[in-house]
């Protein structure tokens, strides 16, 4: 997995973009989010129940203080986030279709 992080770091350079990780209660996702934040590669935004994420972080001995966590049950801008994600995927899908011809 370290090669993946090196590749990501090389691709983003000093931009430090945000990345949304929608499965914040998945061990692998949470571990990756912490690594990305710790290595200052990207600004991870983790989606999930804050209490469940904190409990999992404790179980895995992860420090999540530097993570941005959005709980879909309480996040006031959830609809706008979903709309932006759907729009972005549509654009990507169209680009992929055009590139395949």
Residue 6 sits in the same domain as residue 51: yes
Residue 62 sits in the same domain as residue 42: yes
Give me the number of domains the chain comprises: 2
Pairwise CA distance, residues 11 & 61, whole Å: 29
pLDDT at 96: 58
**Range of the structural domain that residue 99 is part of:** 75-101
Pairwise CA distance, residues 99 & 101, whole Å: 6
Q: Which of 88, 66, 75 is nearest to 48 (CA)?
A: 75
Phi then psi dihedrals of residue 66, to 5 deg:
-90, 0
With beta carbons less than 8 A apart as the criterion, state whether 67 and 48 touch. no
Q: Dig out the tokens for 30 from the structure.
A: 């949470």
pLDDT at 61: 97
Residue 82 sits in the same domain as residue 38: no
pLDDT at 74: 92
Q: Report the CATH number that the domain containing residue 27 is assigned in CATH.
A: 3.40.50.10950
Q: Which residue has the tokens 């309480």?
A: 74
Residue 66 sits in the same domain as residue 82: no
pLDDT at 95: 61
pLDDT tens digits for the chain (101 residues)? 567 767 777 777 777 788 889 899 999 999 999 998 998 888 999 999 999 999 999 999 999 998 999 998 998 988 887 888 788 888 766 665 555 54
Q: Can you give the pTM of this predicted structure?
A: 0.71
Residue 92 sits in the same domain as residue 54: no
Residue 64 sits in the same domain as residue 81: no
């Amino acid at each position: 997995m370290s090669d993946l992080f090196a590749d990501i770091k090389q691709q983003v350079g000093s931009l430090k973009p945000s990345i949304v990780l929608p499965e914040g209660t998945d061990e692998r996702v949470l571990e990756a989010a912490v690594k990305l934040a710790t290595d200052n590669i990207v600004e991870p935004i983790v989606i999930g129940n804050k209490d469940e994420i904190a409990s999992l972080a404790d179980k895995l001995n992860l420090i999540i203080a530097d993570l941005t966590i959005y709980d879909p049950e309480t996040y006031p801008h959830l609809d706008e986030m979903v709309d932006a994600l759907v729009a972005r995927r549509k654009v990507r899908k169209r680009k992929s279709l055009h590139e395949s011809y």
